[in-house]
Structure formats: structure tokens, C-alpha cells
Structure 1
């Protein structure tokens, strides 16, 4: 009888241990010294770039790490706790990421693949698009397989001196920059004019 109770207790302990392991695990990550840019739900967005001991490839981390204070220009070595969420977030995140330990923080220049800093061709219409009472550039993006309908573009393009009445075709590059104090979030995607491919006066 005593032996049976001990066996039952051991099985019960093993069951709880297995459940705990299913609900939580710990990984060691390297965090790149700069953020990459990935496609979000509606637009491009900055993302931490990480790699694990099992992979030498950088990959984007779309969700925040609780307790981790990121500063560009430094490469980090951290231990992260991954917990299953009882109620997944609206963006579909099923795991919660928490900093367990900071092993190392050192100045570095991580070599990220060019794919995480996309460049694309943009067409800008001769007239603004009005959206919720605000005038935005009216754009379409032929690089995405089809020439879409004109859409409002709420983000500034550094280096572009727009004049209404002209149709523009240009090449745009991207980078990550700290957000203005009045913007939500710490980092945003910055769009820069790389090349003006064409400009046509539509009022001639």
C-alpha cells in the first residue's frame, strides 16, 4: 500500500512538472544592435531582430519583451521566459515574453539582411486624398503585383518636395528611427526618397 502511494505521488509530481514545462520555457537570445522592418497588419513596422543558439539566422520578434529596455547600437545576450497566455491577445500572440536575465550588452554593428530594410517604387497622385478631415498624399504601390487604387499615405517621405498637380514616380527606402515624443511607441519606420524616377505636370 505504501509503495503504491509513493508511485502515485511520483506520477502526480511528474504530471505537474510536465504541465509546467508545457506552459513555460526559457530560451537564450541574441538581440541585434538595430531593428529590422517587417510587414505588420496594415503597414510596415519596426521589429527587434533576434537569433537563438540553435540558429545563426536573424528573425524578427514582433512582440515586446517585458522588462527589456532596448537601446540601438548595442547587441544583447539575454535569457527570456516564454509563458503561454490564458487569453491570447487581439494580435494573435499566444506567448508572453519576459526578460529573465541580461547576460551581456556591448556596442556592436549587427549585420542584418537587406530584406529587413525594404525599398520599393511608389506612385504619388496629383491631388491629396482627404481622410477623416486630413489631407494625405495619394499613393499606389506597383511593386506589390498590381497597380492598386489610390490610397492615402499618412507618413512623411524625407527628401520629397511635393507639388500638387504633378504625378510622381519614385524609389523609396526605409529605416528605423526613434518616435517623436508625441507618437505612440518608441520606434517608427522612416521613409526616404532614394530616387525620383519621373515627374509629370498633369495640368499642362
Structure 2
């Protein structure tokens, strides 16, 4: 929120004039009933947002906005921010933004996009693996969230033939780690499982 209409109009004017001197950026102003969004946008990817400093009506905070990241792939990457005087010459403000903010912000956005793409790739591979495992086990079902998927073995219980008692889950994270929990009374299955584990040991 801006202190008043005067400071809001001042910020809008500053953004529009700064955009004329900041390579590739255009001013984006959106007003609604409650707020006004003031941004400098480049290629639809890079976004610099203007905010009012609550304790200083004469300065604005400019923050680099990172790409939308619902899965936390860009954790640790920062957009950065600086404060500027709204009464300073727009050309000088643009030069300040380019030197103090954009020089680090744009490489960080590019790094964030790579991480997001890699994360999406891992999640797609996880989906494919879960579908494959589910299809290999008759009666199995799949469940889980975006970054953690699981296959649930069909529940089997018999009081007459305890060797048929077998159920459990195969849970896999997007990082590729699997947690297998199987409950069974089938001794032959356990021996087969031990042989399978030995097969994949170094």
C-alpha cells in the first residue's frame, strides 16, 4: 500500500521514466479497487516490483521477483532488492537499478528457471516410474503428492493360507529415493527378496 495518492502517482511516474533508460524493461501498471501494481517487466520473465517504504515516504523499495515455484525448486536463490529515492533523476535511478540489482537478479532468474525445469523433469520421471510399477503389480494403486508418490500393494489377508498375507507400500520421492515397507508372513517371498537385494549389492 502507498501512503497516499501523491506518492502512488510519483512511483508510477518514476517507473515509467526509469523504463525508458533500463535496457529491455517496460513499465507495467495495474490498478484495481484496493491496490496498484507497479512493475518493470522484461521478456515476460524478469519482473522488478515497486513498493512503498512505510517509514519513508520519499523512497521506494524495488524487489526482484523470481519465477513461480510451487515445489520449492528455487529455494536458496534470491531475487534481491534495493531502495531508491523517488525524487532522484530517473536516468540515474535506472543506472543504479542496473548496477545494484539487475546485474545479479537476471542471472539468478536464469538459474531459477533451470532448477524449475529440472524439478519438473524429475517429477515427470517419477510419474512414469510409478505408473510402470503400478502396472507390474496386479491390483496395485498409486497415490501421493507432486514431490512424493507411492504404490500401494493390494491388501491380501487369509487365515487359511498365511503365505498369502502380503501388503505394503513403495514410496518414492522426486529426488529418486525409495522407501519400501512390506508386511508379509510368506517366508519364500522374504528369501526371494533377500536374493534380489544381494543381486544389486556391489
Normalised by the length of structure 2, the TM-score is: 0.24
- The answer to which structure has the higher helix fraction is 2
Q: TM-score, normalised by structure 1?
A: 0.23
Q: Work out which structure has the larger RCO, using CA pairs closer than 8 Å and 6 or more positions apart in sequence.
A: 1
* Structure showing greater Rg: 2
